[in-house]
Amino acid sequence: MNVLLLGPQGSGKGTQAKRIADEYGAPHIATGDMLRATIQSDTPLGRKLKPILDSGRLVSDDLMIELIRNRLEEADAANGFVLDGFPRTWAQAQALDSMLREIGRDLNVVFALQVPDDVCTQRLLKRAREEGRADDTPEVIAERLGTYHRETEPLVDHYRTSGNLVGIHAGRSINEVFSEIQVALEQVAVR
């Protein structure tokens, strides 16, 4: 099962992606986690990435496409994956389409998690208090949500026409959202 999640920061995308991955035994490929791990490693690349993530701007398409290309080639992704955080731009979506075409695979389902900005902001500010993530300040949150609406949200339409897009009302509890996701995944599985 190849699953993609789209949704603004604070939509619970990462939480749901993890649950899908656990339930279906597929790797959770989260670009934000991968980038933060690179930053932790304190390499030249990590030092280059840190100010970009801290400011809420996007990492370059070339670098992200390379990162995902390598990750999808790893053995654990051979039977499926749950992709979270990629694609975020039109160029990345085009690259993903052609990568999947090359390896003869398709996205079985694309979830678009929908939550109003004010709810996202409240959730991220709460996460800032609990986890202290460097990019969860009010200014950077506003920057990331703006980038989402400008660059990433148009991809929902791309997948509406080309894939199996399922809209999810993600303003509810984690369990309620996951139930809705499971219903959709079961429909995909029997198809």
Q: Active-site residue numbers?
A: 13, 88, 127, 133, 144
| Amino acid in position 143 | E
CA distance 71 to 29: 8
Instruction: Please report whether residue 134 would count as binding ligand ADP according to CB under 6 A.
Output: no
Question: How far is CA 190 from each of CA 25, 104, 181, rounded to the nearest angstrom?
Answer: 17, 20, 15
Q: Shortest distance, CB of residue 60 to ligand ADP, whole angstroms?
A: 7
Provide, for the chain, the percentages of residues in helix, strand and coil under a 3-state DSSP scheme, each rounded to the nearest 5.
60, 10, 25
Query: Beta-strand (E) ranges in 18-117?
Result: 28-30, 81-84, 109-114
Answer for which of 15, 24, 58, 182 binds ligand ADP (CB under 6 A) is 58
Answer for which of 6, 64, 95, 166 binds ligand ADP (CB under 6 A) is 64
Query: Quick one: which segment of 58-66, 70-78, 105-113, 157-165 binds ligand ADP (CB under 6 A)?
Result: 58-66
Residues of the shown chain interacting with ligand ADP in the complex, contacts defined by CB under 6 A: 9, 31-32, 35, 52-53, 56-59, 64, 85-86, 88, 92, 135, 144
